[in-house]
Homo-oligomer: A and B are copies of this chain.
Amino acid sequence: MIYFDNAATSFPKPKRVYEEMLWCMEKYCANPGRGGHKMSLESGRAVLKVREIISDFFNIKNPMQVVFTKNATEAINIAIKGVLKEGDHVITTCMEHNSVIRPLKALEKENIIELTIVPGDEFGEVDAEDIRRAIKGNTRLIVSTLSSNVNGIIMPVKDIGSIAKEKGVLFLVDAAQGAGSIKIDVEELNIDMLAFPGHKGLLGPQGTGGLYVREGIKINPLILGGTGSNSESFMQPETFPDIFESGTINTPGIVGLGYGIEYINRMGLDNINILKHKLVKTIYEGLSELRNVKIYSRPEISKNSGIIAFNFDDVESNEVSYVLDKVYNVATRSGLHCSPLAHTKLKTIKTGAVRISVGCFNTLEEVKIVLKFLKEISDNTI
């Protein structure tokens, strides 16, 4: 199968990810932070090493501020529910995933927060100045996706971060799309909280993700329980990362994530970005030559994290993905991609769109094959 559904989860992972997860599980996987014996300590060291790898990768000063979660959605929920209080105003963008919109809309519905959704241009890119204009006296938080999971559009997070810093507003970035090919420096971008999945661009396994919280931010935990620390107390410890890591964490998954990021480091983040752009640009140009096609993504490297969303005028998006799968053995995704907001912006809320999302293991050869198939589908609809 040719796999072009990397925005959902990357496939495959680097071989070493599998090998090291297996090694961990077979050889030393005890409970990290829950005992003083060799295996527990080795598990603890392995987890700490990945905290450090992640910190280096995002230029986070203190690895203890990196919290492991089960996925990016948990991380986003911790951040949103952990910092917002009654009366707070939140600003977000028109391209957010349901992982951002659903918790925000629920708080709005309960009259806890006010919510402003900033509109973008035709591709959904917001103007940072629109965010500045939306800031009010009670604005507590700005939430922006790094890049849309529907069409790959990249948000001006650096400009938004500067504004947030200037205005003293917290800035949460959802890096579900883009982490692993777009450089993210939390200091340079003035990111206060960064939510990331482990199993997409970072090439780790499912069941992993994380949240970075800048030191000094007061934030409440979502899940309370045993942390292996302050065991004598009925109260959740306030120290990082324990405050957010109740219960046993996913040691082999985290180990795999570490090796995913090390693979990216070895390959070079920029090289991955350039490769993905080359693939995206080729798809864009090939698709553009087909009749009756409408493309919702931009081809420029600075505007696209690796996704081409499109529709044929005459064909249901689901039908295109279905034929690509059944007839041609190509994995893509169609429909709404858990992002009704983005589809409203792109005027595809009724039709959905076909999404081709590339990963660092895709090749130009695969792209050419898919373009040939798409031409056949397009021709057959005449």
Contact = CB atoms under 8 A, between A and B. Distances in A.
Contacts of A71: 247-249
Contacts of A223: 73-74, 77, 222
Given A71-B248, A73-B247, A234 B26 contact: no
A249 B105 CA distance: 23
Contacts of A321: 35-37
B1 A39 contact: yes
Interface stretch (A162-170, A225-233, A283-291, A296-304): A225-233
A247 B5 contact: no
Contacts of A36: 318, 321-322, 325, 333-334
B251 A106 contact: no
Nearest to A105: B234
Interface residues of A, number: 88
A197 B248 contact: yes
A246 B73 contact: yes
Given A9-B30, A30-B8, A36-B322, A338 B18 contact: no
B335 A231 contact: yes
A76 interface: yes
Most chain B Cβ neighbours within 10 Å, of A69, A226, A332: A226
A236 B106 contact: yes
A338 B1 contact: no
A8 B31 contact: yes
A156 interface: no
Nearest to A35: B333
A5 B226 CA distance: 16
Contact of A225 (B37, B99, B329, B331): B99
Interface string A46-75: 000000000000000000000001111110
Interface stretch (A123-131, A178-186, A199-207): A199-207
Contacts of A147: none
Contacts of A248: 8-9, 71, 73, 197, 199, 206
Contacts of A39: 1, 3, 5, 11, 331
Contacts of A228: 338
Interface of A: 1, 3, 5, 8-9, 11-13, 17-18, 21-22, 25-26, 29-31, 34-40, 69-74, 76-77, 97-103, 105-106, 197, 199, 205-209, 222-228, 231-236, 246-253, 318, 321-322, 324-325, 329-341, 349
23 contacts: A1-B37, A5-B35, A5-B37, A9-B30, A11-B29, A17-B25, A25-B205, A36-B318, A36-B333, A37-B330, A40-B333, A70-B207, A73-B247, A77-B225, A97-B226, A100-B225, A106-B236, A205-B250, A206-B248, A206-B252, A207-B250, A222-B222, A234-B340
Given A38-B329, A76-B225, A98-B227, 17 more contacts: A1-B38, A5-B35, A8-B30, A8-B40, A9-B29, A12-B26, A22-B22, A30-B331, A34-B333, A35-B331, A37-B333, A70-B250, A77-B224, A102-B225, A205-B250, A206-B253, A226-B338
